[in-house]
Chains A and B, each alone.
Chain A
Amino acid sequence: MTRNRSFARIAAALLFVTAAALPMFAAHGTADFSHIVALGDSYTAGFEGGSLNERHQIYSPAAIFAQQAGATLCSPFATAADNCFAQPLITWPGLPSELILTSPSLTGVVPAPGSGVPVMTGFGRPFNNLAVPGAMLYDILNTTGAEKTPVTGEQASGIAAPILRGLGSEVDQAIAQHPTFVLAWIGGDDFFLAATGGSAKDCNATPPFIACMSTVDQFKTQYAQVLDKIIAGAPNAGIVVGDFPPTIFTKLPFTSTIPAIVLDTNLKPVLNNGQPIPLFGIVDGAPAALPLGSTVLLGSASKLFTGLGIPPQLAALPPFNTLPNAGKPLADTDVLTPAEQGAIAARITAINAAIKDIAAVRQIPVADVSGLFNRLTSGQISVAGVPLSTAYITGGLVGLDGTHLTDIGYTLLANEFIKATNAGYGTHIPLAPTSRFLQNNDPTVANPSKLIYQFPTMSSDAAKNINIFTTIPALPHFRSTSHDGSTTKTGSGNPTVQNQ
């Protein structure tokens, strides 16, 4: 009886201690962030300005998420024994070299001189951030970075080698680390690479998968495979995934900045009988006037400089007759037509439904990235009172490659995953602040050494490339014409054309 009473007291004491301890654990919800691993593609990797480099890898959505959840980032000198969030850091200007702005115009966007070097290739364990630019779901399941015969865009780019290092696929390396939490924004390049390649064609049933969209069935199968492999390999790990914005390519600068019509130097359409003149390209396999609403991909802008896309009926007229390729069509891969836009949007809508279903069955929260994108494109985002947008160069949310986000944009993206995680797991991860991207160059700050946030504003290399223009220069590939059809002279002395 006495013993029983003692047991009862001990049990009560233990119960009290447990109850007292509960609130502490409750603050962490049901997720354990002691070892976070990220799978994904260029966005999760922190690819920015056409480059993967350490200046932006530290602001990759995965790194931001991990830091907000309590992790510290590994320095380039970290070892496998260090308890830190490891990323495959590449020195600036990165791989490929990061695009920098030398003047506020399309032609002012140039690669920084030199190239970066991966500095953690000998790191003694898989990286926590395993995201590889260009990774389709197929890559996440299969690509190891050691492929000799590339069958995907990721494999062809060679960027997988310094990240995956032949140690296994993204998902296999994730499992090998015994992760406690997995950030898996995956599947974007199952449509993204097609769109930025000017295509909406479906992938074949088997590789190679180059610039194509996975079918919905392919997507579903592989998406579920990735999640099920994680669940099987790390059964206690929390997982968060995300959806995709269906209208992304109507707003992303890469696919929406250059309309496929003849423009003058003021970026106004050259009109013929009141109508814009469409550029000339391959439509359904044959050369034709591009449908109105088509866009020339930012990556193909340089082709316009040579006259490609100038309609044949203008080719013999000055100044187009001085351009070597005037009258020749743009390639199908240079252009995104409204039909292709529509097909891609429909595919994204379908895969979003698939993601929702697949995640729901597995009780995995889905970050509302499409909702974020709607806010990014509708003027709802401001930082320090400055409204930001997805406009090219000046918008502040999309970087100079026109497809990937800026550090500010990636912070907002990471926050969507934080919100989904907090909602799904009852955790209280604080959002990452965009205020850290204040340049904070206020000369009235009394003691600069006390600044909380200090960032390099521009590298000395980049600064050397700056041209001093007081006005935005004209874009050389846009022909200057008068809108009333008469022949005029441009400011640069180029002869102009009488509209047809």
Chain B
Amino acid sequence: MRRFRLLILVSAVSLAVSGVAYGSGFSIFEQGAKATAMAGAFAATADDPTAIFYNVAGIAQLRRAEVNVGGTAINFSNEFRGDPNDPFTSGAVGEYRHHTFIPPNAYFVLPVGKNLTLGVGSFAAFGLRTNWQDPWIGRFISRDANVKTVSVEPAIAWQTDDGRFAIGAGAEYRRSHITLIRNNAAFNPFSQRIADVANAYLNSDWDSAWGWNAGVLFKPSPSWRIGASYRGPMTIDYKGDATFTQIPTGNAIVDAGVAAQLPHNQSIATSINFPATAIVGLAHTHGAWDIEADVTRTTWSRFKELSVNFPSTPALSFVRPQNWEDTSSYRLGLNGRVASHWDVRMGALYDQNPQPTEGVGPLLPDSDRTALCFGVGWHNGPLTVDLAEMALHFKRRSTQGLSSDNFNGTYKTDANLIGFNFGWKF
């Protein structure tokens, strides 16, 4: 009965998730404070319940029932500056509305017998929010884009009697929701200006798909660990509604013309091809210190386009080519058991962006990231507390005059992430 309640808790916490992208593309790699403090280099360590996300084989190491709940508070600053050689954006500036995102995560593991561990986790592996602050001259491309996901993953892992080898697998049930908001403009011949005439609000249902993941963990010697995990690709087909709201221009003739052309509210359909992620990690223990290096590979080349289909008004359907590329990230983490109850951690990462220059725009201005992280862990009896701080820097990204939306400029983003997780061993 208690376990059942925990399962409910896991799902309820994760349903509160709000999306924001802090891994390459729109993935979110920060799903546990210990791993975050080690820059996500955790696939070969995987020694707390967040292993369900990082390397599911790792939960086989956990021989006590354990719950772990936390979140990552994300704040960021960003800036768009128009390209002085772009006749539309020159001199313009823009920034996101300020949001603090706290994608939560929750995990529960339950050992069964000597070798088996069952677990369930809930996390938001993908998400995106680009909500531009008015007045935003890119509002005709995107005012607000919001992709939310929440996953629930039952998992199972098994290890050999000597604990040197473990395998695990999970089935991920991912639900996702998309909102896209933008304005439409028209030339107003009375004012000789370009007027906002309508707002298009595209809102999907919560739609879902199943995926799978698996991992292995191998300890060739007491001081060396090798981990590898794979989270499979997924495609979610969304259905939803498009709502068109007229924006009055102040001119009755123009407004009547717009009203006559305004599309009726109608159903829409779209889909997103989520990528697969493969991680390989190598960890070494030297005295009180663990060091781990991981490489991840994400198949963002699956994200070829964002197309929205309007079945009842095909003329409104659109396809935005994305043509993303597969990416790698490189992560290095350090964990030191410096006192009987205390660990200190640090890490650094480099995360490639998958987005070709042509596609960099208001919907998602991605760029290569680097981060420095540190954190502490405190454990006393059954209780663990992990805290992490990550300073994430996005490389300044210019469209170099190549924007496919003819919306050229430079995007600059920095983020600060604070991870926190609380664990209890039963």
Residues of B235-261 contacting chain A, CB below 8 A: 247-253, 256
A433-B88 in contact given A383-B194, A439-B249, A451-B135 (Cβ < 8 Å): yes
Q: How far is the CA of A437 from the CA of B141 in the complex (A)?
A: 17
Please tell me if the beta carbons of A433 and B135 are within 8 angstroms of each other in the complex: no
Residues of B168-221 contacting chain A, CB below 8 A: 183-196, 199
Residues of A408-437 contacting chain B, CB below 8 A: 408, 411-412, 415, 428, 430-435, 437
Q: Which residues of B contact A470 (CB under 8 A)?
A: 253, 256
Please tell me if the beta carbons of B91 and A393 are within 8 angstroms of each other in the complex: no
Q: Which residues of B contact A395 (CB under 8 A)?
A: 187
Kindly provide the distance from the CB of B216 to the nearest chain A CB, expressed in whole angstroms: 50
Interface membership of A406, Cβ < 8 A = yes
Residues of B67-92 contacting chain A, CB below 8 A: 82, 84-92
Q: Which residues of B contact A385 (CB under 8 A)?
A: 140-141, 184-185
Residues of A373-390 contacting chain B, CB below 8 A: 382-386, 388
Q: Which residues of B contact A77 (CB under 8 A)?
A: none
Q: How far is the CA of A441 from the CA of B185 in the complex (A)?
A: 10
Please tell me if the beta carbons of A101 and B247 are within 8 angstroms of each other in the complex: no
Of B87, B141, B192, B406, which contacts A415 at CB under 8 A?
Answer: B87
Interface membership of A119, Cβ < 8 A = no
Q: How far is the CA of A108 from the CA of B383 in the complex (A)?
A: 79
A430-B194 in contact given A385-B184, A442-B139, A457-B251 (Cβ < 8 Å): no
Smallest CB gap from B82: residue in A: A433
Q: Which residues of A contact B199 (CB under 8 A)?
A: 444
Please tell me if the beta carbons of A441 and B87 are within 8 angstroms of each other in the complex: no
Q: Which residues of B contact A361 (CB under 8 A)?
A: none
Smallest CB gap from B93: residue in A: A452
Residue interface bits A466-483, CB-to-B below 8 A is 1, else 0:
101110000000000000
Interface membership of A322, Cβ < 8 A = no
Please tell me if the beta carbons of A431 and B188 are within 8 angstroms of each other in the complex: no
Kindly provide the distance from the CB of A383 to the nearest chain B CB, expressed in whole angstroms: 5
Please tell me if the beta carbons of B188 and A382 are within 8 angstroms of each other in the complex: no
Q: Which residues of A contact B85 (CB under 8 A)?
A: 430-431
Please tell me if the beta carbons of B137 and A466 are within 8 angstroms of each other in the complex: no
Please tell me if the beta carbons of B183 and A442 are within 8 angstroms of each other in the complex: yes
Q: How far is the CA of A444 from the CA of B183 in the complex (A)?
A: 11
Smallest CB gap from A432: residue in B: B90
Kindly provide the distance from the CB of A154 to the nearest chain B CB, expressed in whole angstroms: 26
Q: How far is the CA of A383 from the CA of B195 in the complex (A)?
A: 10
Q: Which residues of A contact B86 (CB under 8 A)?
A: 431, 433
Q: How far is the CA of A468 from the CA of B250 in the complex (A)?
A: 13
Q: Which residues of A contact B193 (CB under 8 A)?
A: 437-439, 455, 457
Please tell me if the beta carbons of B247 and A431 are within 8 angstroms of each other in the complex: no
Q: Which residues of B contact A444 (CB under 8 A)?
A: 134, 199
Please tell me if the beta carbons of A442 and B135 are within 8 angstroms of each other in the complex: yes
A396-B190 in contact given A435-B89, A443-B248 (Cβ < 8 Å): no
- Interface of chain B: mostly helix, strand, loop or mixed: loop
Residues of B102-147 contacting chain A, CB below 8 A: 134-135, 137, 139-141
Interface size class, chain A:
35 or more
Of A407, A431, A450, A458, which contacts B135 at CB under 8 A?
Answer: A450
Please tell me if the beta carbons of B194 and A386 are within 8 angstroms of each other in the complex: yes
Of A101, A386, A442, A450, which contacts B190 at CB under 8 A?
Answer: A101
Kindly provide the distance from the CB of B260 to the nearest chain A CB, expressed in whole angstroms: 8
Kindly provide the distance from the CB of B254 to the nearest chain A CB, expressed in whole angstroms: 9
Kindly provide the distance from the CB of A411 to the nearest chain B CB, expressed in whole angstroms: 7
Smallest CB gap from B250: residue in A: A457
Q: How far is the CA of A393 from the CA of B187 in the complex (A)?
A: 10
Interface membership of A446, Cβ < 8 A = yes
Q: How far is the CA of A395 from the CA of B189 in the complex (A)?
A: 8
Q: How far is the CA of A411 from the CA of B90 in the complex (A)?
A: 12
Interface membership of A24, Cβ < 8 A = no
Kindly provide the distance from the CB of B112 to the nearest chain A CB, expressed in whole angstroms: 54
Please tell me if the beta carbons of B195 and A101 are within 8 angstroms of each other in the complex: no
Kindly provide the distance from the CB of A53 to the nearest chain B CB, expressed in whole angstroms: 13
Smallest CB gap from A102: residue in B: B190
Interface membership of A103, Cβ < 8 A = yes
Q: Which residues of B contact A458 (CB under 8 A)?
A: 190-191, 250-251
Please tell me if the beta carbons of A439 and B140 are within 8 angstroms of each other in the complex: no
Please tell me if the beta carbons of A386 and B82 are within 8 angstroms of each other in the complex: no
Q: Which residues of B contact A384 (CB under 8 A)?
A: 88, 137, 140, 185, 194
Q: How far is the CA of A24 from the CA of B89 in the complex (A)?
A: 25
Smallest CB gap from B84: residue in A: A430
Q: Which residues of B contact A441 (CB under 8 A)?
A: 195-196, 247-250
Kindly provide the distance from the CB of B160 to the nearest chain A CB, expressed in whole angstroms: 60
Please tell me if the beta carbons of B189 and A469 are within 8 angstroms of each other in the complex: no
Please tell me if the beta carbons of A446 and B247 are within 8 angstroms of each other in the complex: no
Please tell me if the beta carbons of B196 and A433 are within 8 angstroms of each other in the complex: no
User: What are 8 sample pairs from A and B whose C-beta atoms fall under 8 A apart?
Assistant: A383-B88, A384-B194, A396-B192, A407-B192, A432-B91, A435-B137, A439-B195, A439-B249
A432-B90, A440-B135, A445-B135 are known; give 18 further A-B pairs, CB within 8 A. Answer: A382-B406, A384-B140, A386-B194, A388-B187, A393-B189, A396-B189, A406-B192, A430-B90, A431-B85, A433-B89, A439-B194, A441-B250, A453-B135, A457-B188, A457-B193, A457-B250, A462-B190, A466-B190
6 closest A-B pairs (Cβ-Cβ)?
A430-B84, A439-B195, A457-B191, A439-B193, A396-B187, A384-B185
